[in-house]
Amino acid sequence: MINLTTKIGNLRLKNPVLVASGTFGYGKESEGLVDFSLLGGIVTKSVSLKARAGNPPPRIFEVPAGMLNSIGLANVGVETFIADKLPFLRSLNTSIIVNVAGSTPDEFVQVIEKLEDESGISAYELNFSCPNVKEGGLAFSQEASLTQRVTKRIKRIASRPVIVKLTPNVTRVSEIAQGALEGGADAVSLINTLVGFAININTRRPQIYTGTAGYSGPAVKPVALAKVFEVASNVKIPIVGIGGIAGPADALEFIIAGATAVQIGTANFIDPATGTATVAGIEAYCRQNDIHEIEALVGSVRSW
């Protein structure tokens, strides 16, 4: 029997495959398309203190080997999330990780204070790294001391594991991860999207209303993998790897590089069942290679 369970703080996941925030909605959108019980967990669309309309369209554009998006953290707000979205999520036989967004440290705290009173939540993922909002956003994960301070403040009130989501758009992401660790984070997730840009040559306008946007998809995988390996080599903290994962081979690369778990993002737009297929593929790989515990693969990359 293959044991695929893995642990982040005191959260035990049934397997290491999660679906990433912003690519799976609040779960309900994929009902009937995915057997949720086969996933390690669902990371919800970002939840902020108040509802957000997000950025004006056009805000999604397909590019070679990926996509640009500048949604701007459009979401229903924490009160509506609790009333309308959380009941369905509670009914699912998988871990629920709520992605929390805020423009200020106070907003993060206020959202989590409201969520702390609710059942059915397994952990929080702090969106410290969205490139598509004017306030907050990247700032929280571009300076290690600020990452440390805000994480520490949130950890004082959070009874559940806290995962800090980091941007790749820094010189040394391991320094930011160290700040998260010193602030008490249970794990870091990386990477959030790269910054990208595309132009319509006929109108000479950007393809995205806001100009620059988040770039995700298969093309970012080597960058994401390098960032995961950097953090795993320098910081003793669990890592959730994200970036261009479209199947079991991709996920296994992240795990071997040092990720405790992975998130599937853009691939969900192509096939919402990519996550469950990835779980099956990882299990098959372990069976073929006589690996009984998935944790034995974490950080097992070999040097020449």
Full set of structural domains in the chain with CATH: 6-54+71-194+219-296 (3.20.20.70)
pLDDT value, residue 9: 87
**Cis bond leading into 58, ω under 30°?**
yes
The average confidence (pLDDT) of the chain is: 95
Model's pTM, two decimal places? Answer: 0.95
Is the dihedral angle over the CA atoms 14, 217, 251, 10 positive or is it negative? negative
Residue 131: per-residue pLDDT: 56
pLDDT bin (cut points 50, 70, 90) of residue 152 is: very high
Residue whose entry in the numeric block shows the structure tokens 């391991």: 174
- Residue 135 reports pLDDT greater than 80: no
* pLDDT over 70 at 138, yes or no: no
Alpha-carbon distance 297 to 293, whole Å? 8
Q: Has residue 88 got a pLDDT over 90?
A: yes
286 is catalytic: no
Catalytic member of 11, 101, 130, 177: 130
pLDDT score of 192 more than 70: yes
Task: Look at residue 29 and tell me whether its pLDDT is greater than 80.
Answer: yes
Portion of the chain with pLDDT greater than 90, in percent: 93
Q: Rounded to 5 degrees, what angle do the CA atoms 220, 47, 129 make?
A: 35
